[in-house]
Amino acid sequence: MSQTETHTFQAETSEVLKLVIHSLYSHKEIFLRELISNASDACDKLRFEAVQNADLLGSDGDPRIDIVPDKDARTLEIRDLGIGMSRQELIDNLGTIARSGTKQFMAALSEAQKGDAQLIGQFGVGFYSGFIVADRIEVISRRAGSSEAWRWVSTGTDAYTLEPAKRAERGTSIVLHLKEDESEFLNDWTLRNLIRRYSDHIGFPIRLPKPGKDGDEESSGNTGEMETVNQAAALWTLPKNDIKDDEYQAFYKHISHDFGEALSWTHNRVEGNQNFTSLLFLPAKAPMDLAFDRDQRKGLKLYVKRVFIMDAAEQMLPAYLRFVRGVVDSDDLPLNVSRELLQNNRQVEKLKSALTRRVLDLLDKLAREDKDKYAQFWSAFGNVLKEGAAEDFSNQERIAKLLRFATTRSSNADERFSLEDYVARMKTGQKAIYFLSADGWNAAANSPQLEALKARDIEVILLHERIDEWMAGYLREFEGKSWKNIAKGDLDLGDLPDAAEVKAKHEEAVKAAASTIDALKTALGDKVHEVRVSSRLTDSPSCLVLEEYDMALHMQRLMRAAGHEVPTAKPSLEINPEHPLLKRFDMLADGAERESLALVLFEQAQLAEGAPLDDPAGFIKRVNALLLNAA
């Protein structure tokens, strides 16, 4: 008489299975990760139960997981030497969709035991992902400590069969009878690649049949020899004192696919309300697409109890830290049912905040303890870090301390100083951090707007990279010192010792040049907002100045070139009445010559600012005329 039993699944099983097979997972290879995770759970359960009952281990050997493809039979077997399942457990765990044996097991553990249990499953649907690639699944299982084995078989419809079986060892075998178009999962290279990607750090050996001597796949598995494919140990779970630098570097190369070594790293374990381990690396060089890859970021791998879930750089770190590489392994991070996506909640935000602090701590330590390495980091990633000054207001002060800038004390564009260095060198009575933004290093270093400040030996930060003007709009102050763009608005020298004297001289110059200013306004018309005597110039005849909150002229050009509409902000022309060209202007009686010289003064200021001229040929003609008249 047959002992085969037929049971119907609980719940609306056919509909739930359709959901699992067709909608739940976005990548079909995830099934292997899920089944290996289940096998790992079974091995972990055995380890826990064997603490109180060592007889459960028997003579079957240590827990392990074997993956055995059979091309002739078109089957893929996932076999473990774990705890196994009894008849009732098969009914409970596989006959009830979304009932998780792992979750039930965890509920039975004491709080102290939970901290050590490396159990993964929580939703109870991972097993059914096998039906994505298989049209029939066969499960043969024998509970540790029992002599009975049972076979569970289903085609993923609304029923399954259960009957006695024979199995010499404890544990479970899941045999997938693959669909016709899923032959790739019988390929040795594919299986090895998936195991290393998703399950490399599972804490038990994962084995595949050893290839033949010539590496021929067709001979794989015929010898009966098995070889371990995964590392079976997660470096980040080891105590820091037990890990050598070359091991850290080897792991960095493994996860980042970088041929070079990491610049620095931070390794931390956090326990409490949120349990997670992080191992974060700073690369030494930037990849080609770093500046553009803000929306689809890779490099920070998320694990849950050593099982790879996803590249989670987008969720775990802000965009301005997208250069970071590493792993985060959480014990209790909320995932969606398919475990491919993070659920957005306060726990995820807290983890993101904690990881951000870790990276900023690492950068701060590197900046303090190894200036050469930090200079190397800044050269590779400084412009990306600047984004944080505008985007992360909660950490803006910390980020500002990490920024490095060229100044009027720099011998070249690569000699940079911190804001703390600048503030320490500020003149007595100087209230503001002076800066100038320009389209390039030479334009900034040789700008006429610097002349008066250079004459007083006042240091000015030179912002000459494209992101700088945007970033400076968000940096309002540092250590109580406001930021002041010397090319915008009035130049306030604060309480510098000679400020009152300079102001008095400027007022006298304004009165003396009243007629010159009126004449220049008439000649230039609507090309400028206004004409005024400059407090910035000592050597040059003229310069262009914007109002306090206008966008810099070079930024206006960049925005228009990118197709953006930008409000037109007319600059003001500032003049140096003591310059020979201005004195010549006052002496000219001919209106045409006056207008020509006024245009030259305006166009020279445009060129010094780095702007293209509307009429370069006309400018050359006017300059040639000036040269001939002066000859």
pLDDT tens readout for residues 219-262: 444 457 899 998 877 889 889 999 999 889 988 887 787 878 99
Q: What are the pLDDT digits (tens) for 498-549?
A: 778 888 888 999 999 999 999 999 999 999 999 999 999 999 999 999 888 7
**What is the pLDDT at residue 410?**
94
Domains 5-228 and 499-546+560-630 share a fold: no
Domain boundaries 499-546+560-630, corresponding CATH code:
1.20.120.790
pTM of the model: 0.74
Instruction: Give the pLDDT score at 105.
Output: 46
Q: Does residue 377 carry a pLDDT above 90?
A: yes
Q: What is the pLDDT of residue 108?
A: 53
Burial 470-480 (b: 16+ CB within 10 A, else e): bbbbbbeebee
**Residues 6 or more apart whose Cβ sits within 8 Å of residue 145:** 53, 55, 56, 58, 170
Instruction: Give residue 280's Cα distance to chain centre.
Output: 11
Amino acid identity of 277? T
Query: Percent of the chain beyond pLDDT 70?
Result: 85
Amino acid at 261: E
d(CA 256, CA 265): 13
What is the reported pLDDT for 127?
A: 82
Mean per-residue pLDDT for 417-422?
96
Min mean pLDDT across 110-124, 152-166, 300-314, 607-621 is at 110-124
Q: Would you place residue 81 in the very low, low, confident or very high pLDDT band (cuts 50, 70, 90)?
A: very high
pLDDT at 462 over 50: yes
Of 368-372, 534-538, 563-567, the poorest mean pLDDT is in: 563-567
What residue type is assigned to position 58 of the chain?
Answer: G
**Report for 233-242, 290-299, 387-396, 604-613: range of highest mean pLDDT:** 387-396
Residue with tokens 């599972």: 202
Average pLDDT of the chain to the nearest whole number = 84
Q: Which of 24 and 465 is assigned the larger pLDDT?
A: 465
Q: Mean of the pLDDT values across residues 46-60?
A: 83
Q: Which residues pair with 311 in a beta bridge?
A: 301
Cβ-Cβ contacts under 8 Å for 468 (sequence gap 6 or more): 386, 437
On the 0-12 / 13-18 / 19+ scale of CB atoms within 10 A, 427 is middle
pLDDT at 117: 44
The fold of 235-380 is Ribosomal Protein S5; domain 2 (3.30.230)
Nearest to 255 by CA among 335, 190, 316, 311: 311
Average pLDDT over residues 340-358: 78
User: At how many degrees (to 10) do helices 30-52 and 101-108 cross?
Assistant: 30
Q: Which residues pair with 142 in a beta bridge?
A: 149, 171
Tell me which range, 48-52, 139-143, 551-555, 588-592, is most confidently predicted by mean pLDDT.
139-143
Q: Is residue 592 a contact partner of residue 598, using CB atoms and an 8 Å limit? A: no
According to the model, what pLDDT value does residue 508 have?
Answer: 92
394 by DSSP, 3-state: which? helix
**What are the tens digits of pLDDT across the range 354-365?**
999 999 999 999
Mean pLDDT throughout 2-12? 68
Q: Round to whole Å and give the CA distance between 536 and 491.
A: 7
Which has the higher per-residue pLDDT, 600 or 557? 600
Extract long-range pairs of 391-395: CB within 8 Å, 24+ residues apart: 391/318, 391/319, 391/320, 392/318, 392/320, 392/356, 395/356, 395/357, 395/360
Q: Which residue bears the tokens 């996803």?
A: 310
Query: Average of pLDDT values for 556-574?
Result: 77
CA dist 324 → 16, 279, 321, 495 (Å): 39, 10, 6, 44
pLDDT above 50 for 119: no
Residue with tokens 């994962």: 206
**Residue 41 CB burial class (10 angstroms; 0-12, 13-18, ≥19):** buried
Fold that domain 5-228 belongs to in CATH = Heat Shock Protein 90 (3.30.565)
| Average pLDDT of the residues in 327-347 | 64
56-80 mean pLDDT: 92
CA 381 to chain centre: 12
Q: 22-31, 71-80, 290-299, 375-384: lowest mean pLDDT where?
A: 290-299
pLDDT at 398: 96
The candidate with the shortest Cα–Cα distance to 23, out of 168, 178, 165, 128, is 128
Q: Mean pLDDT check: name the lowest of 8-22, 23-37, 86-100.
A: 8-22
CA distances from 319 to 257, 322, 374, 540 (A): 21, 5, 20, 43
Whether the per-residue pLDDT at 185 is higher than 70: the answer is: yes
Q: Where are the chain's structural domains?
A: 5-228, 235-380, 499-546+560-630
Judge whether residue 471 has pLDDT over 70: yes
pLDDT for res 380: 93
SS3 269: strand
**Amino acid 70: pLDDT:** 95
